[in-house]
Amino acid sequence: MNASGPRCTSYDELKVIAKSASAAIVTKSCTIESREGNPEPRYQNLPLGSIQSMGLPNLGYQAYLAMVPELKALGKPVIVSISGFSIEDNIEMVSAFQNSDVDLIEVNFSCPNIPGKAQVAYDFEQTDRALAALCQLGDKPIGIKLAPYFDMSHFVAMANIIKQYPVKFITCINSIGNTLVIDPHSERPIIKPKGGFGGLCGDYIKPVGLANVRAFRELLGDDVQIIGVGGIKSGTDAFEYLLAGADAVQIATCFEKEGPECFSRIENELKAFMKAKGYNKLTDAKGKLKPL
Ligand code: RRO
């Protein structure tokens, strides 16, 4: 499926996703009020991915709430992503979507691009408090989009929090936040917001995404579904995430660069690769990374 990120903000964009081979329709993270996002230039392609600091441009959650019936009518599961600036914001939005027809709610705890706002996923105490509040608002499954972690103690700390709540899925990983790409000719950063600091995406981050999926799969067992995301642009990339333990994968940068044809291409490549290996279904390979 698509990742909450590129090409999923407007109804027209979401309709294109519905018509593609994406397994679900995932919306751009929304906030209480609509937002223009950060100043341009805020997205740049790189040889092996991209850097961006979009700043949560979105229509405001009520627009997505009103869109749910039309999106559902397109015939695919609808996953709404919410990204409030406070626990109160997230309570308001989760409550609203709990009373809608969306299939899943992905709470984004990891946007790196709002000046002055820390990423919730790096604040374990705040994550714990937020989950305590958000998991009791209804029966619809909720999941959380996590930031990339780089220390084993952080995987353990976050897994121990997740285990305390009925979190149905985690999405790993968001972009690697606050990276800097410099153009040596102009002697400037290549994006404008935050002095050039932005989220790194694409091939560069695949090893980080794989490690996060693997670590959480080992720590959480099979109780929590894991959506892998980060640098998937081929069937073999998706297969690697499957081996690491992903139940599903999301595509962001490749979708941005290639357009909606990427979903059928990647799916066909994955099918062909697995068939050549003699695997018939995803569970033949899921989580079955072999020791070296
Ligand atoms: O809009 C963004 O700048 C953005 C978001 Br909400 C996010 O979760 N991750 C990201 O890399 N960019």
Give the per-residue pLDDT at 44. 98
Q: Closest ligand 1 atom to the C-alpha of 114?
A: 3
Nearest CA to ligand 1 atom 10: 111
Q: Cα of 31 to ligand 1 centre, how many Å?
A: 12
Closest by Cα among 147, 125, 137, 142 to 82: 142
Q: What is the pLDDT of residues 198-233, one digit of tens each?
A: 999 999 999 999 999 999 999 999 989 999 999 999
Residues with CB under 6 A from ligand 1: 29, 52-56, 83, 108, 110-113, 174-175, 199
Q: Cα of 56 to ligand 1 centre, how many Å?
A: 6
Residue 27 is given by DSSP the state P
Active site residue 201: no
Residue 180: C-alpha distances to residues 15, 21, 96, 194, 205 (Å) = 34, 34, 37, 10, 14
- Choice among 8, 30, 111, 172 that is catalytic: 111
Top CATH class of 11-37+55-178+202-284 equals: alpha beta
Largest CA distance in the chain: 54
CA dist., res. 245 & res. 211, Å (int): 10
Distance of CA 128 to the CA centre of its chain: 20
In the chain, domain spans: 11-37+55-178+202-284
Give the per-residue pLDDT at 4. 98
Q: What is the pLDDT of residues 83-141, one digit of tens each?
A: 999 999 999 999 999 999 999 999 999 999 999 999 999 999 999 999 999 999 999 99
**3 state DSSP class of 16:** helix
Q: Cα of 203 to ligand 1 centre, how many Å?
A: 17
Tokens of 283: 């569970």
Give DSSP secondary structure letters for 152-181.
HHHHHHHHHHHTTTT--EEEE---EEEEE-
Pocket test for ligand 1, best of 81, 111, 229 (most atoms within 8 A of CB): 111
What angle (nearest 5°) sits at the alpha carbon of residue 237, between those of residues 232 and 238?
80
Q: Cα of 157 to ligand 1 centre, how many Å?
A: 23
Nearest CA to ligand 1 atom 8: 111
Give the per-residue pLDDT at 34. 98
Give the per-residue pLDDT at 40. 98
